[in-house]
């Protein structure tokens, strides 16, 4: 889920975090300090999750595990929804989390939705992240399962990185994207590390979306099929900021620079992303 779309790199570096999350960015480091290139030690992951939500309850998402990003700022992508913490937009029932976009006026926006986050309640450095989900259908939707840095140690977006476990835009049905973004490799300069795969029935069936994150690489899988790999080149944080804590985000955006590129079909609302489970397995150190 592209975090920002700003007009200049200098503005991007200074305002990244402040503009979208209300946090003042720290002094921006410069990507001059090399990092050592790790060897692939063949890391494995525990068989039992260290953090999970099976959604085996009713009502709002578990407040011990999830918070919310709120508001209608456009989120750097000219998105059209207002994110709420209302049960209308995020609720758990029948063993699933439903993130629902509505055609509903709020605070000058014509749509509402939800963006639930694990920040401060589930923050992770390395691990296996697996989410089983069914995607919303319809032109104008932009669901995402993704990760952002918790501490923004390298400064505002894209300096501190982004990991997109799953992205989909409704006007391109069944095509699912896995990507990473960093200062050297991100969409604004058309260098992002990304892969896509066309699936059957992402709207009617559940699929598993997974990232395995180690010091050596970030690898992406759909239904256990290997789709994506970005290897740590051992250069600087500009290439690899992925040595700090990240947290999870689940959301359904409406419109925006990518999601709304072909317009919005208002007949689709309400429309929901259904999440069967979220599981995080720790990496076993070697």
Residues recognised as catalytic: 162, 167
Partners of 220 in the beta sheet? 211, 228
Pick the closest to residue 159 from 149, 169, 172 (CA basis): 149
Pairing of strands 109-113, 81-83: parallel
Pick the closest to residue 162 from 114, 221, 230 (CA basis): 230
* 255 alpha-carbon distance from chain centroid: 16
Tokens 């317009």: give the residue: 263
| Other beta carbons less than 10 A from residue 108's beta carbon | 7
Pairing of strands 217-222, 225-231: antiparallel
d(CA 163, CA 46): 21
């Amino acid at each position: 889920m592209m975090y920002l779309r700003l007009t200049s790199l200098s503005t991007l570096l200074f305002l990244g975090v402040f503009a979208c999350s209300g946090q003042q960015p720290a002094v921006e480091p410069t990507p001059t300090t090399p990092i050592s290139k790790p060897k692939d030690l063949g890391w494995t992951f525990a068989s039992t999750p260290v953090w999970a939500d099976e959604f085996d309850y009713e009502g709002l998402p578990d407040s011990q595990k999830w918070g919310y990003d709120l508001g209608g700022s456009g989120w750097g992508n000219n998105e059209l929804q207002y994110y709420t913490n209302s049960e209308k937009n995020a609720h758990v029932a029948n063993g699933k989390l439903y993130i629902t976009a509505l055609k509903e006026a709020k605070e000058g926006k014509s749509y509402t939705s939800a963006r639930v986050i694990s920040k401060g309640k589930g923050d992770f450095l390395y691990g296996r992240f697996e989410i089983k989900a069914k995607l919303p259908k319809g032109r104008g939707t932009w669901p995402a399962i993704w990760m952002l840095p918790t501490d923004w140690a390298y400064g505002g977006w894209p300096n501190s990185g982004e990991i997109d476990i799953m992205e989909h835009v409704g006007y391109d049905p069944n095509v699912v994207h896995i990507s990473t973004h960093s200062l050297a490799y991100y969409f604004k300069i058309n260098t992002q590390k990304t892969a896509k795969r066309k699936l059957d029935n992402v709207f009617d069936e559940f699929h598993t979306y997974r990232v395995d994150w180690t010091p050596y690489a970030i690898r992406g899988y759909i239904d256990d099929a290997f789709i994506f790999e970005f290897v740590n080149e051992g250069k600087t944080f500009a290439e690899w900021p992925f040595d700090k804590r990240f947290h999870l985000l689940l959301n359904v955006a409406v419109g925006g620079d990518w999601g709304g590129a072909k317009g919005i079909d208002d007949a689709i609302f309400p429309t929901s992303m259904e999440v069967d489970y979220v599981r995080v397995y720790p990496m076993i150190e070697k």
